[in-house]
Amino acid sequence: MATVSEVTYDLLRARGLTTVFGNPGSNELPFLSGMPDDFRYVLGLHEGAVLSMADGYSLVTGEATLVNLHAASGSGNAMGALTNSVYSHSPLVVTAGQQVRSTIGQEVMLSNVDAGMLMKPLVKWSSEPTCAEDVPRTINQAIHTALLPAKGPVYVSVPYDDWAAEAPPESAGLLARDVHSAASLSGDQISDLIETLESATNPVLVLGPAVDADRANAHAVLLAEKLHAPVWIAPSPSRCPFPTRHPGFRGVLPAGVADLSETLEGHDLILVVGAPVFRYHQYVPGNYLPGGARLIHVTDDGGEAARAPIGEAYVAPVGSTLEILANMVKPSDRSPLPPLGDFEEAVSVGAGLDPAQLFALVRAGAPDDAIYVNESTSTSDAFWSQMDLSHQGSYYFPASGGLGFGLPAAVGAQLASPDRQVIGLIGDGSANYGITALWSAAQYKIPVVIVILNNGTYGALRGFSKILNTGETPGLDVPGIDFVHLAEGYGVHGTAVATAEDFTTAFKSALAADEPTLIEVRTNFNES
């Protein structure tokens, strides 16, 4: 008779979850002791970095990814990073070891009290099986739940004595079971959408991360070209759903109500695909939409549709719906949009590199299909003004607003995409939240390139201090950190530069190296 552990590993293999990201404790050892040779365990030194590495890996593959944490303490350490997975719809299957089942009620050391409640309301679903025999079915439910629309993380706590128990014979049937999602818009709904698009005088497309996640960027391009419509990316984008040098590209919408409405002034139809309507940030009150505008929302997330304050919503698969619209809509007789001009020249004034010039140098030196993981939150405008993103799955940014995603996510993304170079663009404040991921990169020889933009301050906070009129407050600066020495301590080669010439040389060398590399760049801070 097979054990619960053996059946679970067979199930994980059948579902493709053979890479495990983790940081073990005593409760997890019985599960890990049975790990088959064809599984790969990626160790991280802190649970936040573990979860973000898994997040980056899952974002690139689009598949469920297994995370193994330690009881309540390890799970708690990962919860900050988990918020990003929630809003990026990453299908992470987060597991944690629980104390021996008969001792949980005593609250002995390392028991996870009310384990099923710990991760709520962050995760889609959370559970601790009621008995050892139900562990394989619960894991199977977790995987399917994570992958069903809208994708998202789930959590399962397993008492460690369950792994040695005998699995019931019917558990074998789980291996052949699958769950298919086939929801789609009706013919009448598609016809109504097409008629609305074709009859609009001045339509505009607003695209979100689900377009890129569904590998539907090409469909978005075709639809924009047939409509001769400009394209904006929804506020605070965590992915790039449209080529940034396409004639229709207009940039990223602002994250305040009044500013966003003003930006879309003059459009009678706003089609939002694969994004919330809208994920505001700065409190800039005003009218949700410009006068006379109609908004139509296509999303695979029923929660997004339900909580939106405006518009008509269609809950349906984003990729297939966009493909149908792009293929069926008639070409518009409006004039095509003119090509974009050349990149604006970026120069540095004073000590250090201006971020815009740095991004221009990165663009010039990086491979055309490079993947960028960006967590330099105060330089987003400079990034979008200088980067040429034309390939599917080229850009990832923290979806939750918290820090710590970028550096470990870049490591996970590179592990998932060995044929494309991953470049992490990380602020000095952000880097410290996930710095231990450098050790994992070194240990597993993951050739990611990490560029640290070091200006000695939390630049995004300084920007908000002006918006909120708070003046100088404690905790805005982070001086005196030597990232080269930190990197070398973790086993990663590091270089510090402060000029364009030195960066170009260091970047070329990093791209040629078959190992992880860190470049610390002294940048200036522009408060405008």
Residue 206 main-chain phi, psi, to 5 deg: -120, 115
**Which element (helix H / strand E) includes 509?**
helix 500-512
Contact 72, 45 (CB under 8 A): no
C-alpha–C-alpha distance, residues 3 and 95, integer Å = 18
**Catalytic entry in 25, 256, 406, 434:** 25
Contact 490, 438 (CB under 8 A): yes
Q: Does 28 participate in catalysis according to the annotation?
A: yes
Query: In this structure, which amino acid lies at residue 10?
Result: D
C-alpha–C-alpha distance, residues 196 and 513, integer Å = 52
Q: What is the DSSP annotation of 43-54?
A: E-SSHHHHHHHH
Q: What is the DSSP annotation of 107-147?
A: T-TT--TTHHHHTTTTSSEEE--SSGGGHHHHHHHHHHHHH
Strand 203-207 and strand 231-233: pairing?
Answer: parallel
**Catalytic entry in 22, 44, 46, 47:** 47
Q: Does 26 participate in catalysis according to the annotation?
A: yes
**Catalytic entry in 26, 33, 102, 184:** 26
C-alpha–C-alpha distance, residues 385 and 159, integer Å = 51
Contact 54, 412 (CB under 8 A): yes
**Catalytic entry in 292, 401, 485, 489:** 401
**Catalytic entry in 195, 281, 292, 489:** 281
**Catalytic entry in 28, 225, 375, 520:** 28
C-alpha–C-alpha distance, residues 495 and 471, integer Å = 35
C-alpha–C-alpha distance, residues 205 and 202, integer Å = 10
Q: Does 25 participate in catalysis according to the annotation?
A: yes
Q: In the sheet where 269-273 sits, what is the strand order?
A: 249-252, 231-233, 203-207, 269-273, 294-299, 312-315
Tokens of 428: 């000095």
SS3 category, 22: strand
C-alpha–C-alpha distance, residues 395 and 143, integer Å = 26
Give the position of tokens 């992880």: 516
Cβ neighbours around 61 below 10 Å, total: 18
User: Which residues are the active-site residues?
Assistant: 25-26, 28, 47, 70, 281, 401
